[in-house]
Structure 1
Amino acid sequence: MPRLLMVAHDHLSPGGAVSARFEERGYEITELLVVPEDRFDDPAVEVTFPDPREYDALLVLGAKWSVYGDEVAGWVKPELEMIRTADDAGVPVFGICFGGQLLAQAHGGSVEPSRAPEIGLHAVQGEPAVDGLWFEWHFDGFTPPPDATVIGRNAAAPQAFVLRRNLGLQFHPEVDADGLKGWLGAGGREGAQALGLDSDVLVEHVRATDPATRARAAALVDHFLDVIAVR
């Protein structure tokens, strides 16, 4: 049975439809929770990351914080090293939002505050695997590594890139309406309001698209495993 290391940076960011598809594809999932729930407001924790060469793939999820934030610098640095080690060993990495930003920074790209933050469902243009409507929640954006291939973008930011066996995403294929409610209840409501969004309407909009999003998330995982991870 192939093994997947799923790095969840906080208790509000589960793997959702993405990790579910890995399970359907036969993967045994080991979850590493970086910041425990009782440290959510004080994320400067000490973390020992495992050797990625012990796994067949990595799934690196989103987070509340910024990759460049001082409060997470103590564990971002070793996580970047883990991602580089995985790449050197040919272990595929699937990075989502914060995870995609880590992938970019680990391989020569950068992360900075976005000039056009996105919350809600937004269109992405690109290769069939990423083209379409996806949920977004980000106030930062990545500049992909110089040797990466951008496979999805919109007017706000690059949205997806491929680098060797790595896939970095800015959008959230894993998020459903229930997950969104968790984010809103943990301080996200203010961020949504700052962009002029009604949180209740946002949840119902996402709930209406949940079935289609789950199907497209599964297809995206298939593309990662069947095309990108075997390069």
Structure 2
Amino acid sequence: MKPSRAIAVLHDAADVAGCLPELFAEQGIDLELRCVEDFLPPPDSLELLLVLGSPESAYDHRVPWLGGELAWLKAVQAHGVPTLGICFGSQLLARALGGEVYRNRQAEIGWTPIETAPADQALRGPWLNFHFDAFTPPPGATLVGSTELAAQAYRHGRSLGVQFHPEIDTAMFDTWIAYWRRSEEGRRFMAEAGDLPERIRAEIAEREGVNKANCRALLGDFLGRL
């Protein structure tokens, strides 16, 4: 049965959820955005969970909130709560289910079509990838999407992890640029990136309508399997 409410975990107070609030509203689902540093609800109170992106690495336990979120997510999965993990969220979900996350051999940045099984055409994209790390699908999961550089999507019970960003829009990308400008690591990235951020933003603006339609189809497929 389709849930009536969902919680999306953000990893910074300045983060936004792209087109997800609009698309969940279309489905009649109330989507509550909650920062990881705020109170995380008891697993048995959840109907549906989303774990969104972060510039942090899902294996870096110097991040102050990471250990607590990982333990909580393990409990959420033990309760069988359907979960959609996106980018960092797919990596942390993989860890919670027994998989691994590691620094990939190279970054994957740009719009990429996904190689999928015929039954998972809603995952094909192309989608925006913007990641430096990668995951191994957890034990018992089915790998349902990949590129030459990384595993891209897996299903584990009623949960789904996707490495790409189906929810991206220009407002969301602007929060990434703001983070890069205010953080030391981000400023180093900007110094080396040249016009890449501007080009990616222009592409997001150009593709926004098509990408939203693709995201709508992905969410419809995910919810239809619950």
Tell me which interval the TM-score lies in, with the shorter structure as reference length. 0.7 to 0.9
Shift of 1:32: 1.4
Out of 83, 90, 97, which is 2:80 matched to? 90
Q: Which amino acid aligns with 1:201?
A: R
Q: Match for residue 175 of structure 2?
A: 182
Cα displacement (A) at 1:179 = 1.7
- Between the aligned partners of 2:130 and 2:13, the Cα distance in structure 1 is 16
2:71 is aligned to: 81
Match of 2:18 among 16, 19, 24: 16
Instruction: Give the match for residue 183 of structure 2.
Output: none
**2-structure distance, mates of 1:218, 1:189:** 34
Deviation at 1:30?
A: 2.4
User: How far 1:190 sits from its partner (Å)?
Assistant: 4.6
1:76 is displaced (CA, Å) by: 1.9
CA distance change for structure 1 residues 172 and 192 in 2, over 3 Å: closer, same or farther?
A: farther
How far apart, in 2, do the equivalents of 1:208 and 1:75 lie? Answer: 35
The sequence identity of aligned pairs, in percent, is 36
Match in the other structure for 2:94: 104
- The answer to whether structure 1 residue 33 and structure 2 residue 35 are counterparts is yes
Amino acid at match of 2:220: D
Q: Match of 1:70, SS?
A: coil
The alignment partner of 1:186 has SS state of helix
CA distance in 2, matches of 1:107, 1:78: 15
Give yes or no for contact 2:18–2:171 (8 Å, CA) kept in 1: no
Q: Does 1:55 align with 2:27?
A: no
How far 1:31 moved relative to its partner? 2.0
Paired residue secondary structure (1:129): helix
Contact in 2 for aligned 1:111/1:143 (Cα 8 Å): yes
CA shift, 1:93, in A, is 0.4
Identify unmatched segments of 5+ residues in structure 2.
181-185
Q: Distance in 2 between matches of 1:174 and 1:159?
A: 15
Q: Contact 2:122 / 2:217 at 8 angstroms: preserved in 1?
A: yes
SS of the aligned residue for 1:6 comes to strand
Q: Tell me how large the CA RMSD over aligned residues is.
A: 2.0
**8 A Cα contact 2:17 2:172, kept in partner:** no
Unaligned 5+ segments in structure 1 are 36-46
Indicate yes or no: 2:143 matched with 1:150. yes
TM value normalised by structure 2: 0.87
Q: How many residues align?
A: 216
Change (3 A) 1:112 1:121: same
Give the alignment's TM-score, normalised by structure 1.
0.85
| CA 1:186–1:18: 2 relative to 1, 3 Å | same
The CA deviation at 1:197 is 5.3
